[in-house]
Amino acid sequence: MGAPVNAFKARLAAGERQIGCWLSLANPYSAELMAATGFDCLVIDGEHAPNDLRTTLAQLQALAGTGVEPVVRLTAGEPWMIKMALDIGAQSLLIPMVDTAEQARALVAATRFPPEGIRGVGYAVARTAGFGGNPSYGQTANREICLFVQVESREGLANLDAILAVEGVDGVFIGPADLAASLGHLGNGTHPEVTGAIDDAITRIAASGKTPGIICFDLERAAHYLQLGARFVAVGADMAILASAARSLSAKAKALP
């Protein structure tokens, strides 16, 4: 049987756009709801949302069979976190705060079985290999992993070309909020220095043959990034959508005559 085909990775390799949304509510029921709204992919956020291993597992289970591809953003690029996420079924990972090529190489190694990497071999009892029902998983797993590293600092930008040269990194995802803070413009992602740096980064990532990614809630600017070559673009977050709709509804209701 081998590892399941990673449709998210295959679509990006074919040059297709993947329009996604963040899952910040840490709940499988809302994840299943979001899977029915038309997005190509959904990012289970473990950095700024209260997701842990079990809530991530529950959301992977909720998304299974929906046709919407899950991407798991871990809290950090620790090898033990990566190992556990892959064992519960994640195939596409987004790792925050990557500043150097050395970090990127270590992340690639953590996602690969030996001899290509250091991923622990425990798939005989793991969900990702059908709980032992897919004994050939290990021979094909490496090629189906999709790894995005987040560049979101001045240092990361300075090392972008070296990061892009790391084999096994499928794409680089720009984190606008942290990048703005690193450049001295906390809370001001539209500052010309920030937007100029993002435009330059996306252009360089696309030119390298790797996939550029970004999160952007402004659809006009998201369209601009797509035109520059971005292919993995998240345009919202479930929590933000709910909060915005609820605030609008309550304000309108309270204004009724």
| Residues labelled catalytic | 48
The token pair that represents 53 in the structure block: 């291993």
Q: Cα 229–234–238 angle (5° rounding)?
A: 170
Q: Would you say 22 and 43 are in contact if contact means Cβ atoms under 8 Å apart?
A: yes
Q: How far is residue 218's CA from residue 180's CA, in Å, rounded to a whole number?
A: 16
C-beta pairs of 73-78 under 8 Å, 24+ apart in sequence: 73/43, 73/44, 73/45, 73/46, 73/47, 74/46, 74/47, 75/46, 75/47, 76/47, 77/103, 77/106, 77/107, 77/110
Beta bridge partners of 233: 19, 214
Q: How far is residue 211's CA from residue 172's CA, in Å, rounded to a whole number?
A: 6
Q: How far is residue 12's CA from residue 100's CA, in Å, rounded to a whole number?
A: 24
Crossing angle of the two packed helices 79-87 and 101-111, in degrees rounded to 10:
40
- Helix, strand, coil distribution of the chain in percent, nearest 5: 50, 15, 35
